[in-house]
Each structure stands twice: as C-alpha cells, then as structure tokens.
Structure 1
C-alpha cells in the first residue's frame, strides 16, 4: 500500500523555498511594470511592518530594508502553506488560485488592521489591477515551485483518495491509516 500520511514539515519547508521563489518572481514583475508605467515603489509593506512591530517611521535605506523584510517574510511564511497544500495533493492551477485568495486576504488583513491600507474596493482601479496582477504572479510562481518539488514524492493523500472515485461520493470513505 502507498504511503497515505503527509510529511508536514517537509511540505512546509518546500513551501518556504517556493514562497521565496514567488517573491522573486513578483519583484521582477513589479520592477518590469514600474519601468513601463513609471509607478514609484510602494512602501505599504514597510509601513505595515512598522505598525505591527511598533517601530518609528523610516525613510531611505531603512524603509527599503523593511519593505524587503516584509515582502520576503510574508512570501516565505505564506509559501509554507502552499507547500503543505502541495504535499496534501492540492496541486495545479486551481490550487494556486485558492492560494491567490489567501495571499490577497493576508495582505489586506494586515494593511487594514494597522490602518496603513484601505479596503481594495476603495482604491483607484489602476492601482487595484496592478496589485492583483503582482499577487497573481506570486501565487502562481509559488504554486509552480511547490507543486514541482512535491511531485517528486508522488501523489499526496488527497490525490490518492480521488483515485478511489472522482468527485464527492458517499461510498468512498477516508483512506486507511498506515
């Protein structure tokens, strides 16, 4: 019988790596977009981090470092979740779409809770489109890396369960324990 238990720690670690790759892809996309549109850097991540940690408002290089810390910190920690999703068998574009909603929710919760941001439906449409596009790059790049690494372990428990009968069926119970 195939292994039906998931390696949680390994999956989360793979997700952290995938999250960092997703941050790199998002950052590259942002820099390319900024060259085309002339949009300046956003320091919302730095301001959010300052509010969360009770730090004084920073400028220049210190603000840039805080921005980077928040980008990489959020991206890698959220990536751990995407790695767990991949380890469980939630792989592919649909799973990355689910993860996209998590990334957006995470950003908006922190930004709004700290008073740094406003609800996205109040934003100018061009800013909203740019933010949604960049977060999509992050979510799908993170998913691609997490899924690729998780595929090396074979199917996850969810995928094994689906092979017993597609869709939700009352006659297909949980996989047996090891």
Structure 2
C-alpha cells in the first residue's frame, strides 16, 4: 500500500527520470537523423516548426528562425515524450515491453497528428523507404529512451 507521500514521490521520480531519458532518446534520434541525412543528402526537416505554426498560429520570421524553432520543438517534444515512458513503468510495464509500448505511442501519434495537420501524407500514401526511415529514427528514440530510463530506474 502506498502512502500519499510515497505515491507522489514515485510519480515525481517517474516523470523526472522520464524527462532525462527522453532527452537522451532525442539526442540519439538526432544523431541517427544526422547520419541518415549525410548518407541520403536529405535536408533537415522543418515539420516541427510547421506543426507549431499551425497549432499555435505563429510563424517564424525567416528561414534561419524556422530551422532554430524546428530544433527547439524537436528537443522539447522528444524530451517531453520521455514522461509517458516513466508513467508506463510506474503502471507496471518494464523493459522491452515498456519500450515497445512507448515506440507505438510516439510513432502512432505522429502517424495521426501530421496527416491531420496536413504536414505529411497518411502512412498508406508514403513510400516504403520513407516509412522505414521514419520508423527507424523513432525506434532509435524509443530504445535509447528505454535503455536510459531502465539504467537510471533500478526499482
């Protein structure tokens, strides 16, 4: 049985460790994307800034500002997604099961959100290579986030 204080402490710890793990996962995903962009000569995505522009009805003032906003949103979004990873563990999912559920939640949200914002086609209209590349980057994120979470949280 949990006392109120121990429950608050457990939730706070899950959130805090999740934030740290989410930041680590975002860094790993960023490295993964940088390597892929170098190999494929793909330009950096502005989708994060485009999403913020649509949702909040704001616009970066120039291309340089848009790239900066995209990076800020990428790191904030990825770091924040670490919180659900912590809550999954708190709910009893651990290890690879929690990592898989986290991957499904993160990538699944993207598959719903971006087409609804008209920033990407639905997955059934995407090229297989684009789907595989996107899934790979999100898998790198989820796995790195899970490994870091599990390494910190030894409970």
State the TM-score, normalized to the length of structure 1. Answer: 0.77
Matches within 5 A, 1:78-97: 78-97=81-100
1: CA distance between counterparts of 2:77 and 2:130?
A: 20
Moved over 4 A (4+): 1-6
Between structure 1 and structure 2, the one with the greater Rg is 1
Matches within 5 A, 1:14-25: 14-25=17-28
Counterpart of 1:101 in structure 2 is: 104
Report if the CA contact (8 A) 1:47-1:57 is conserved. Answer: no
Change (3 A) 1:110 1:58: farther
Does 2:12 match 1:9?
yes
1:113 is aligned to: 116
Q: Which runs of 5+ in 1 are unaligned?
A: 155-178
Other structure's SS at 2:81 match: helix
> How do 1:94-173 and structure 2 match up within 5 A?
94-151=97-154, 154=155
**Which is richer in helix?**
2
Residue 47 of structure 2 is aligned to residue 44 of structure 1: yes
1:23 Cα offset (Å): 0.4
TM-score (norm: length of structure 2): 0.88
Cross-structure match for 1:65: 68
Q: 1:96-143 deviations in whole A, cap 9, x for unaligned?
A: 111100011222232122221221121112211110100000011011
Q: Is the 8 A contact 1:86 1:146 kept in 2?
A: no
Number of aligned residues: 152
Distance 1:58 1:92 in 2: 43
Which string of whole-angstrom CA distances, capped at 9 and with x for unpartnered residues, describes residues 42-79 of structure 1? 11121111111101265422111221122112111110
Deviation at 1:25, TM superposition (A): 0.2
Q: Distance in 1 between matches of 2:40 and 2:13?
A: 40
SS where residue 112 of structure 2 aligns? helix
